[in-house]
Amino acid sequence: MTSEYAGNQGASSEKTSQPWLSIVGIGEDGLAGLGTNALQAIENADFVFGGRRHLSLAAAAIKGQARPWPAPFDVAMTDVVALRGRKVCVLASGDPFFCGVGVTLLRHIPANEVMSFPSPSTFSLAASHLGWALQEVDCISLHGRSIDLVRRHLHPGARLIALTSDEKAPSLLARLLAETGFGTSNFILLEALGGPDEKVRHIRADQFCLTDIDPLNVVAIEVVADEKARILPFSQGLNDALFEHDGQMTKREIRAVSLSSLAPRHGELLWDIGAGSGSIGIEWMLAHPSLRAIGIEQDMERAQRAVRNAEAFGVPSLEIVIGTAPDAFEGLPTPDAIFIGGGGSRPGVMEGAITALKSGGRLVANAVTLEMEAILLAAQARLGGSLIRLDVSRASPVGSMQGWRPAMPVTQWTWVKP
């Protein structure tokens, strides 16, 4: 719970203890699909908010003032909050709390002031049409978001249901599948579900040629991979070859240990200092959708490369700050964990990271140079924590035979701030 939400909750509890806001989920079948209580919530409201499509579907029951959402959409819900204590109804698509406006509203309004009347979600309608077990399906909202988010879910045999933004998204999604080695996947376009214009069409992703697509659509995918498909394993320490890099990156074996030491937990924020290709921040975010990361990189070319990698791995929300540590720390949100993979020997970087880290947060720093190792040894002597040495050798040709070639050893310091 954010401090803003807590403040709103405390203030509103004094003003009203009764539900004043109704959230009604409405489908393409309009009023016919609503129960008695949902209908009464619309009819009794002094103000009814919703998208123009929602207001049109419910027009016959609206007796108060119809208020379409402003453009651009106000995520602060200023107009609704301003009417606290009045009879207000908000119309939403299907289930308001499954990738819907209900989630946004309750960031600003306490749950005890709200009555909700959900209808089946688009995901539920799609699964019922296809006969898919919803608990075995990856449900993804691409509404107003990058289609790159689908990449992490592309595994052979997986079933996905993706809520899109408009009539252009299905074609873009099909192209992404074809370009990443999943072109033979079964691509199912479901349009205007639950209404009189409902339509379901099947096609192979790499043969996508559908036209006259309803803007209100959802895409279902039965994933099929070809031999060259870009599959992102669930394990930590992904193959270096999956990343675009210039050689200056935390290699897969060291990366796997580093991520284990960072120990990501739900909803946490990572600072990746000396982000390079972005590999640490990317794999941190791949561990769970709630995780966030900020990469700090002074080299513009590497920073741009990290952004491209983030998109290619389906975590486009990785934030890259172009700047030199520790000056680049100013103004950044407090991290739960910090990784120092490059630039840690620069004056003020280690001290700045230690200061910025929250109490209970983890700091993991790697050293390949003697200068950085000396800093880690001094930090461990002063603050405690653990030191490990990582040595990796790889088999490579030696004439007509093979031998071990050692990589540069890595010293790693892991510390939890008291």
Look at residues 127, 77, 74 and name the one whose alpha carbon lies nearest to residue 105: 77
Look at residues 184, 213, 182 and name the one whose alpha carbon lies nearest to residue 200: 213
DSSP-derived letter for residue 32 is G
Give the DSSP H or E segment for 364: strand 362-367
Dihedrals φ, ψ of 124, to 5°? -65, -40
Q: In whole angstroms, give the CA distance from residue 279 to residue 244.
A: 9
**What is the distance of C-alpha 336 from the center of its chain?**
17
Residue 321 tokens read as 């700050």
Dihedrals φ, ψ of 104, to 5°? -65, -45
Give the DSSP H or E segment for 353: helix 349-356
Please report the pLDDT score of residue 9 as a whole number.
41
Q: In whole angstroms, give the CA distance from residue 49 to residue 54.
A: 9
Q: Are 210 and 201 in contact (CB under 8 A)?
A: yes
Helix residue ranges per DSSP H, 58-147: 78-81, 101-105, 122-130
Q: In whole angstroms, give the CA distance from residue 233 to residue 84.
A: 48
DSSP-derived letter for residue 408 is P
Please report the pLDDT score of residue 389 as a whole number.
97
**What is the distance of C-alpha 136 from the center of its chain?**
20
Q: In whole angstroms, give the CA distance from residue 29 to residue 213.
A: 19
Q: Are 170 and 210 in contact (CB under 8 A)?
A: yes
Q: In whole angstroms, give the CA distance from residue 170 to residue 215.
A: 10
Cα dihedral across residues 189, 195, 196, 197: positive or negative: negative
- The predicted-structure confidence for 202-255, as pLDDT tens digits, reads as follows 999 999 999 999 999 999 999 999 999 999 999 999 999 999 999 888 999 999
Give the DSSP H or E segment for 340: strand 337-340
* E-only strand ranges, 205-277: 217-222, 269-273
- The predicted-structure confidence for 398-408, as pLDDT tens digits, reads as follows 999 999 999 99
Q: In whole angstroms, give the CA distance from residue 47 to residue 80.
A: 9
Please report the pLDDT score of residue 324 as a whole number.
95
Q: In whole angstroms, give the CA distance from residue 232 to residue 285.
A: 13
Please report the pLDDT score of residue 12 as a whole number.
41
- Give the gyration radius of the chain's Cα atoms: 26
Residue type, 141: S
Which residues are CB-neighbours of 128 under 8 A, at least 6 positions away?
120
Residue 16 tokens read as 């009203």
Q: In whole angstroms, give the CA distance from residue 48 to residue 42.
A: 7
Three-class SS state of 282: helix
Could you list the pLDDT tens digit for every one of the 418 residues in the chain? 233 333 344 334 445 568 999 999 999 999 999 999 999 999 999 999 999 999 999 999 999 999 999 999 999 999 999 999 999 999 999 999 998 999 999 999 999 999 999 999 999 999 999 999 999 999 999 998 999 999 999 999 999 999 999 999 999 999 999 999 999 999 999 999 999 999 999 999 999 999 999 999 999 999 999 999 999 999 999 999 999 999 888 999 999 999 999 999 999 999 999 999 999 999 999 999 999 999 999 999 999 999 999 999 999 999 999 999 999 999 999 999 999 998 889 999 999 999 999 999 999 999 999 999 999 999 999 999 999 999 999 999 999 999 999 999 999 999 999 9
Q: In whole angstroms, give the CA distance from residue 288 to residue 275.
A: 19
Please report the pLDDT score of residue 68 as a whole number.
97
For the chain, list the domains and their CATH numbers: 3-119 (3.40.1010.10), 123-222 (3.30.950.10), 240-416 (3.40.50.150)
Q: In whole angstroms, give the CA distance from residue 153 to residue 233.
A: 10
Q: Are 189 and 200 in contact (CB under 8 A)?
A: yes
Please report the pLDDT score of residue 342 as a whole number.
80
